[in-house]
Structure 1
Amino acid sequence: MIRWLATTSKWLVLGVMLWLAAPAAAQSTTSIEIQYGERITFRVADADLIGGSLRVTAAEAVIADGQAEVTENGLRYVLDAANLPPAASLSAAWTVTTADGTVRDLPPETHFYITPAVDWQTTQGPRVTVWTAAGTADPVVYLTWAEESLAMLEADLRHDSETRYTLVVYGELSLFTQALRSHNTWIQDWVAAYALPEHRIALTAVGPGGDALLQRDIAHEMAHLMLHDISGGEPLPGWLDEGIALSTGENPALDERLAEALRSGETLPLDALCATSFTALPPHEASLAYAQSQSVAAYVRTLYGSDGLRAALDASARGEDCPVVLDSLGGDQWLAYARREQARTSGAATGWIVVLAISAFIAALFVWPQQPRDRRADYRAALADDDPTPYQ
């Protein structure tokens, strides 16, 4: 009996010691310090650590995987942030080694990398999380625009997905521009929207165009995110990616740019629209590439409906050559279509000008001597958009 009690007591004491030691093994405290656009410092505070490594991933890609520096109080790992996107969801996983040689993995942590210069607030929707500056706007409005545009385009292209997206709305255009440029992404001063499809993040800014342009920009960038999802990450030809995205809103400046090219007979060859990006083109050619892409997508929709666009997406995702896809959709007839559309809209516009002129004359007889108001000028001013290449 005495021997049994002694053995039992020994195991009880050992169990208590292990129980007391367990909290000590869990005392590693992690932290993160962001110097936006420069570096991110990850730390583990635990003086008992003699080594460790950190693995950082974003959008399922490894962006850092290496040994940490041992400090007096634990471990430190410094990540160069200049080559990161201006916004990203980072997953950081530590593997640490204690003085007794024990190796253990700390629970992975997720950090949303974004400029700390803004007091951000987040609003969650069924599919979209919106980041906005606290107190500057109603985030529910932006969330509604994003969710509705996403739902409409997914229904149109028969895409069923539960993928979540993030929308960041900067309260100032300068903050948006600075965020991109500090991460080696150079954009023109007037650009107010940018998509990070591989990260499922859209960046927009409140600009001088007001809510109408912001709503258009949000729908446009959400389209890019969704199209990336449809293609499984495969690059899409510009005519398809930009053409569908541009179809989500009105673009009078691009309409006029195409009309100008049709009048002068200086349209781009369709093969030029197979590039995955138009940003390398000179501004005048880039604006035409966007305008033609919008028109080509509209042409395909006119002939085949949304099924034609979906077929083009599926073919491109399979890696089929862009010129072959365009030929299969009757691309050689696009120019004739564009000219007919231009003639039709020009004729309609001329007819309305005549009607307006007659109406204005008759109205003037009744309201004389009041000063007549140029409502067509008001209309043109309301649609004015000096940005020839509003998207990236």
Structure 2
Amino acid sequence: MMKPYCFGPLTVAFLLILRLPVPAAEPPHLIIEAPAALSHLSTRVQDIDKARLQAIMNLVGVEHPGNPIRVLIMPEDSDWARQAPSWVLGYAISERDLIVLLPERVIGYPYDSFESLFEHELAHILIGRAAGGQSVPRWLDEGLAMVASHTWEFDDRARLIWAMLTTEQTSPETFDTLFSQDGSAPHRAYLLSHAFVRFLIRQYSNQWPRQSLAALSQEYSFPAAFALITSHSFEHASDQFWDQQTPWSRWIPVATSSSVLWVSIIVLALYAFKKQRQRAEAVKRQWQDEDD
């Protein structure tokens, strides 16, 4: 049974424990399986910097390697691929300590590379462990996996502007329904979940994810866990997120980004060059007229 909003002396002690720093742990042992044609990808998984995997463990609050994780790198004609929709590039089954990667499908958003795909799915396994096998809201699960595996960049800001223009203000729980829809809906769900989790981390510190998952592992409901960690209601945080997504605040990060700055400089330089050419042509014509 999930625990309601009941905070007492034990809760205070629990909070103190949650705020203790998490030491760097050895990542889980990986058992990687792939057919000969995809065996080179096994090496790419093995060669991922251990510090990156430890950073994911620290983000979600996993302090021990735990059981080995089986990683299957499967071709498109495999039964593992047929079990997943065509847009799914990989999936994790936490209770089985299993990751399935489908690299023959086109890598695209929300993944930057094959390595980020693996890190995303590994994050799902570790999130499940940090939560003690308790249910984790889909938007939180995917948002944290995005934070763990995907850097927020200029393209994400531009996508967020479009997502906000095409999505009415709604609760994060509603993001979950987008994951099972067709078309661009799953991409919007990933983007909104990523943006919302980033917002919560900025608001409540880098410790918020692992504190929240630890509270879930103690069988608190998510709203109760959120109130326990932040002293705010989840509804309040959701409203704050949407309030900050004004047209002004959406455009400022894009308009002031280095990418836009350099594009602006190039455009201005081309404009100046064009004007200079026009002036030179005018002077040349004037000289020709004077010679005539």
Q: Provide the TM-score with structure 1 as the length reference.
A: 0.51
SS for the counterpart of 2:54 is helix
- Aligned counterpart in structure 2 of residue 356 of structure 1, from 266, 274, 278: 266
Are 2:130 and 2:210, in contact at CA under 8 Å, matched by a contact in 1? no
Alignment of 1:230-309 (within 5 A): 230-247=130-147, 248-250=149-151, 256-264=158-166, 266-273=168-175, 275=176, 279-309=179-209
Q: State the percentage of identical aligned residues.
A: 17
Are 2:157 and 2:253, in contact at CA under 8 Å, matched by a contact in 1? no
1:220 and 1:351 map into 2 onto residues whose CA distance is: 31
Are 2:121 and 2:145, in contact at CA under 8 Å, matched by a contact in 1? yes
Cα deviations across residues 362-383 of structure 1 (Å, max 9, x unaligned)?
68899xxxxxxxxxxxxxxxxx
Distance change >3 Å, CA 199–CA 146, structure 1 → 2: farther
- Aligned counterpart in structure 2 of residue 154 of structure 1, from 48, 51, 57: 57
Alignment of 1:1-392 (within 5 A): 127-134=29-36, 136=38, 137=40, 139-145=42-48, 147-163=50-66, 164-170=68-74, 172=75, 174-176=76-78, 178-181=79-82, 185=83, 187-207=84-104, 208-209=106-107, 212-247=112-147, 248-250=149-151, 256-264=158-166, 266-273=168-175, 275=176, 279-324=179-224, 325=226, 327-328=232-233, 330-339=237-246, 342-349=250-257, 350-360=260-270
Are 1:240 and 1:313, in contact at CA under 8 Å, matched by a contact in 2? no
Are 1:257 and 1:287, in contact at CA under 8 Å, matched by a contact in 2? no
Distance change >3 Å, CA 130–CA 365, structure 1 → 2: farther
2:165 and 2:102 map into 1 onto residues whose CA distance is: 34
One-letter amino acid of the counterpart of residue 69, structure 2:
Y
1:199 and 1:281 map into 2 onto residues whose CA distance is: 26
SS for the counterpart of 1:130 is strand
Bigger proportion of residues as strand: 1
* 2:17 aligned residue: none
Shift of 1:323: 4.3
User: What is the number of equivalent residue pairs in this alignment?
Assistant: 233
Are 2:90 and 2:102, in contact at CA under 8 Å, matched by a contact in 1? yes
Shift of 1:265: 5.5
Cα deviations across residues 108-165 of structure 1 (Å, max 9, x unaligned)?
xxxxxxxxxxxxxxxxx96212112225415222123385542111123342112221
One-letter amino acid of the counterpart of residue 197, structure 1:
S
Are 1:268 and 1:288, in contact at CA under 8 Å, matched by a contact in 2? no
Are 2:59 and 2:206, in contact at CA under 8 Å, matched by a contact in 1? yes
Bigger proportion of residues as helix: 2
Q: Provide the TM-score with structure 2 as the length reference.
A: 0.67
Tell which deviates more after alignment, 302-311 or 213-222. Answer: 302-311
Distance change >3 Å, CA 346–CA 279, structure 1 → 2: closer
One-letter amino acid of the counterpart of residue 255, structure 2:
G
Structure 2 stretches lacking a partner, 5+ long: 1-26, 277-292
Distance change >3 Å, CA 364–CA 128, structure 1 → 2: farther
SS for the counterpart of 1:306 is coil
Are 1:129 and 1:166, in contact at CA under 8 Å, matched by a contact in 2? yes
Distance change >3 Å, CA 278–CA 145, structure 1 → 2: farther
CA RMSD of aligned residues (A): 3.3
Are 2:60 and 2:127, in contact at CA under 8 Å, matched by a contact in 1? no
Distance change >3 Å, CA 318–CA 126, structure 1 → 2: closer
- Higher Cα Rg, which structure: 1
Distance change >3 Å, CA 320–CA 220, structure 1 → 2: same
